[in-house]
Amino acid sequence: MDAIIWVLQYAPVFLILISLVITVHELGHYWVGRIFGAAVESFSLGFGRSILEVRDKRGTRWRLNWIPLGGFVKFVGEVQLAQDIDQEIPETVANEAQAIEAQGKAAILHGNEVLVGKPYTDLGPWKRIAVSLGGPFANFVFAAVVFGAIGLTLGVPQSKEVRITEVIAGDPAALAGVKARDVVLEVAGRPVKTASDVTQVTSLSAGEPVQMKLLRGEERLTLVVTPLEKEVVDPALKTRQKMGRVGMGIADVETSLRRLNPAEAVGYGVSRTGDAIGQTFNVLRRLVTGKEGIDKLSGPVGILHLTGGVTEMTMNQEGVDLGQKIVDLIGILLQLAALLSVGVGFFNLLPIPVLDGGAVVMTLAEAAIGKPLPDKVQNVGLTIGLVCLAAFALVVTLQDSLRLPWGS
């Protein structure tokens, strides 16, 4: 019962986040398709039956559906439906199409409607590849904008120095020669501004050497630490997961928030997005090479749990007024949305049928042979892709559920 109440309490925040990220993704496809003149049958927010529907001057139906889980864009001809062909076209509809074409615009008859544009299949292979990549690109741009906006308005944390507070005997840090009161200058070749810069790298590097540059008094040292994989429990977020640990305490000294100017904010947004893409690629690399298990990944259940955890932790801060709590929560959730957007964009680039990366591969094959792939080949590929994604979703959801407090 407690689990049900918890889910109902935080599910709306999760749905807003996931819907925002997926809507951004689909808008990326939509705008690139529009640039190349593709006719858009509908753009839907959510799935299922339509609650609200508006038709714009280009004939596109903008729909708000009753199941609030993302959305989708449908180009005319992208997937041919029975109602797309062999229908009698009313004279008024045909006249409307002729009027649009008389203005020098392309028009297509779709059922009993006239849409401005041309069928998706009329776009050349390279244009369709651009449309496929438009979704992930929009996700990355969204993340950069969010990170930059946060740096511009709320500021970014920075510390006077990041200092080692303790070193556990026998653990990797001690074996590498790290000592208490050392100051961390760089980790894995990147300057360290806060303690989180260190933990982010070591957490995702279990079993792999990590170079650290330290300042000990007046002496600069370069040491190599190899994190060990350990199960870490976070009481505040109520999470339990395996990650790399080196056996040292680390703390920020004189931390403050610095608001960035517009130029700095742009650079910060791009840099943070690049870091997130790099971390995601690193996780994939470690999965492929067997250095990480699939338990490192999270699906909707894990994201819901994290969303609820950060919301609960932020709103339960002591000595902070309600207004500041809300500001803090908005900032944290926006950063979570940006990271989720990077994950969605990167995942869709994988060369798996039914994903954007798979569509790119099939379109490249079409360009190579000079004609569309046979329907049978496309259908087999899509079927395999769907089965793989369904199996993957099942495994990840099961593992997310077992990591929850009530799943243990």
Active site residues: 26
User: Please, which residues bridge with residue 225 across strands?
Assistant: 210
CA distance 169 to 63: 61
Dihedral sign from CA coordinates of 260, 140, 44, 49: negative
Q: 184 near 149, Cβ under 8 Å?
A: no
Q: 352 near 389, Cβ under 8 Å?
A: yes
Classified as helix, coil or strand, 351 is: coil
CA distance 380 to 134: 25
From the CB of residue 79, how many other CB atoms can be counted at a distance below 10 Å? 10
CA distance 351 to 313: 38
From the CB of residue 160, how many other CB atoms can be counted at a distance below 10 Å? 11
Is 86 buried (19+), middle (13-18) or exposed (0-12) by CB count in 10 A? exposed
8-state DSSP, 42: E
DSSP characters over 150-209: HHHHT-EEEEEEEEEEEE-TTSHHHHHT--TT-EEEEETTEE--SHHHHHHHHHT-TTS-
Give the tokens for residue 309.
């955890």
Give the tokens for residue 124.
């050349």
Instruction: Name which of 292, 258, 250 is nearest 153 in CA terms.
Output: 258
CA distance 286 to 117: 44
